[in-house]
Amino acid sequence: MVKKTAILTGEAFSPLFFRHVSPGLGDSTLQFRFIHFWEARKNVKGGPCIFLGIEMLMIDEEGTLAQGFIGQNRRNQYEKELERGSIYTLTNFYASNSKVMYHVADQNLVICISHVSALSKVEENIEGILTERFRIHSFSDFEANCDLRGDIHDVVGHLKLVDGQPLHQRLVLCTKDDSTSRRVMVHLQLKNGPVMNIYLWDEAAENFCLKFDACAATRTVLLVTTVNPKRLGGKLRLSSMSYSRVFLDEEVDSPKEYLTWLKTAKAMKEEATSRNGKRKRQRNPKTPKEEPEESPKNQNNDKKRQRDTKTHKSNQHGGSSALSKRPKPSNFLDTLREKLSGGNFRRLNEKLYTCSGKEALDYFNEDPTLFDMYHTGYQQQMTNWPELPVNSIISWLSSRSSSLVVADFGCGDARIAKSVKNKVFSFDLVSKDPSVIACDMSNTPLESSSVDVAVFCLSLMGTNYSSYIKEAHRVLRPSGWLLIAEVKSRFDPNNGGADPKDFVKAVSDLGFSSSLKDFSNKMFILLHFKKKEQLNSNKKKIEWPELKACLYKRR
């Protein structure tokens, strides 16, 4: 493990990052923000709880979460210093592998503050250190981690029922009866998942009720941190822990983004319903029962819908999404042009999946206009996807430190670089923007071990895709992230796709460890890996499975 010593020379102070901390005494300086702290207690059968100390959750400039501990005999010395949200430096700490029942952070090590430690508050805020970072899991992740004592994660979703009550009646949850410990049960609908029962206990229940009641408008989205997945009566349920926190709607970024997604999804659904209704009405124009009630407002909307439906009818590519940015064809010639370009897109797409990266580069170099044609078709295809994988990657990056350096392999319109604060190197076969570096991504100009995150978002296209991943391995620093989003059907062994297990094994054999396998989306899968610290000594030949081409149907 790299041992980095902090240099405290006034100007050039470089703190030690959590990921570089090794077990034992540490005399370097850590710098972090306190996110949360709570009392650790041990339950004794029949007796009172024993107070063990204060546990803490901290985040460093790289966005790594670590757990800290202050023993009960040092409580008085430090407790009054602790302030949530503030930045601290810490020297002379002790990092222990001590057995914690559940981990609430990225690190397995616990950073203990001892009598020789120096903890001091930094008066100025450091913007580069995140104020929060959540580790949100999907239903399938909770299912996989159910009844295990290990890492526990956060959940976000929208409220369906609170203590069995629907939300449309204005509920008041806080009662004057504080004598018994509180419990609230919510039914939470997860994105791309089922409705889950979540039990909130004690402080989490209390805070939920206070926050829920505090606003005149009904709250919709709930985030609960560190929930424990358990199977009760055959059904998976999540329970809050003594250190869980609750956030509603716009309080912090994660539920805020969820709320935006929810509103967009609702608006798109309404639009699709109204279009379907309109289409039906056009097929059977004399069915008066189907006419909506007329108000001056929806008369206008109806005119607009008629306009939309007319253009939609002539749009043979079925660009049915509200997100489609392309002007819709207005006459027969436009429609014909569109059909031809659709054909070109399919031809180019097939070409990219069936040739090597080098051949693809030569092909586009000969006629760069083909690249525009490809991307027009690609954007059109994407309008049929309810959620874009690139947005998942953007929100992953946004929830981490913006100091992470990113390489976007096969960046297309460089959406990642345009959406995050990080330094992003964007690579594609053709550069349509000065920020994009044109190259075959099996051979980028980046130095070895120079980036923190390598992204492949729907871009493992060539027959030599393994050489792209090898290139990512070269440019990533140890412990760097490899994020892959790919079309789901390419990993469906029942339909000629690769077995995801074989793919994960091949990437792992190259020198990565798998950290996330998310199959919850209908259209794409997300695989996250971390580059191993040590080079693989095993030089066995890696078996890369063939990745089926993703060919789009004629519409």
- Nearest distance, CB of residue 190 and ligand SAH, angstroms: 24
Nearest to 108 by CA among 228, 22, 37: 22
Residue 484 binds ligand SAH (CB under 6 A) = no
Residue from 95, 222, 394, 411 in contact with ligand SAH (CB under 6 A): 411
DSSP states along 103-144: B-SS-SSEEEEEEEEEEEEESS--TTS-S----B--HHHHHH
Q: Which is nearer to ligand SAH, 155 or 348 (CB)?
A: 348
Residue 458 contacts ligand SAH per CB under 6 A:
yes
Q: With CB under 6 A as the rule, give the number of residues binding ligand SAH.
A: 19
Residue 385 contacts ligand SAH per CB under 6 A? no
In DSSP notation, 278-330 reads: HHHHHHSTT-GGGSPPP-HHHHHHHHHHHHHHHHHHH-TT----TT--SPPP-
**How do 13-14 and 30-42 pair as beta strands?**
unpaired
Query: Cβ distance 140 to 520 under 8 Å?
Result: yes
Q: What are the residues facing 58 on neighbouring strands?
A: 34, 66
What is the identity of the amino acid at 554? R
Binding flag, residue 451, ligand SAH (CB under 6 A): no
- Residues 531 and 480 sit within 8 Å (Cβ to Cβ): yes
461 forms part of the interface with ligand SAH (CB under 6 A): yes
User: Which residue of 412, 497, 500, 511 would you call a contact of ligand SAH, by CB under 6 A?
Assistant: 412
459 contributes a contact to ligand SAH by CB under 6 A: yes
State yes or no: residue 390 binds ligand SAH (CB under 6 A): yes
Q: How far is the CB of 315 from ligand SAH (least distance, A)?
A: 22
> Which region among 219-227, 252-260, 458-466, 534-542 touches ligand SAH (by CB under 6 A)?
458-466
Q: Does the protein bind ligand SAH through residue 255 (CB under 6 A)?
A: no
DSSP reduced 3-state for 92: strand
Residue 454 sits in the site that holds ligand SAH (CB under 6 A): no
> Looking at beta carbons only, is 159 or 416 nearer to ligand SAH?
416
- With beta carbons less than 8 A apart as the criterion, state whether 82 and 53 touch: no
Q: How far is the CB of 434 from ligand SAH (least distance, A)?
A: 16
The 10 Å Cβ neighbour count of residue 290 is 12
User: Which DSSP helix (H) or strand (E) runs through 255?
Assistant: helix 253-283
Out of 54, 259, 457, 526, the residue judged to bind ligand SAH by CB under 6 A = 457
If one asks whether residue 429 binds ligand SAH (CB under 6 A), the answer comes out as yes
The contact mask relative to ligand SAH for 490-529 (x = CB under 6 A, - = no) is ----------------------------------------
Q: How far is the CB of 473 from ligand SAH (least distance, A)?
A: 16
- Confirm or reject binding of residue 363 to ligand SAH (CB under 6 A): no
Nearest approach, Cβ of residue 286 and ligand SAH (Å): 45
The binder of ligand SAH chosen from 427, 491, 512, 529 (CB under 6 A): 427
* Gap between the Cα atoms of 430 and 373, Å rounded: 12
- H/E stretch holding 398: helix 389-398
Q: Using only C-alpha atoms, what is the Rg of the chain? A: 27
Alpha helices in 2-100 (DSSP H): 75-78
The verdict on 380 binding ligand SAH (CB under 6 A) reads: no
Contacting positions for ligand SAH (CB under 6 A):
352, 357, 360, 378, 390, 410-412, 415, 427-429, 440-441, 457-459, 461-462
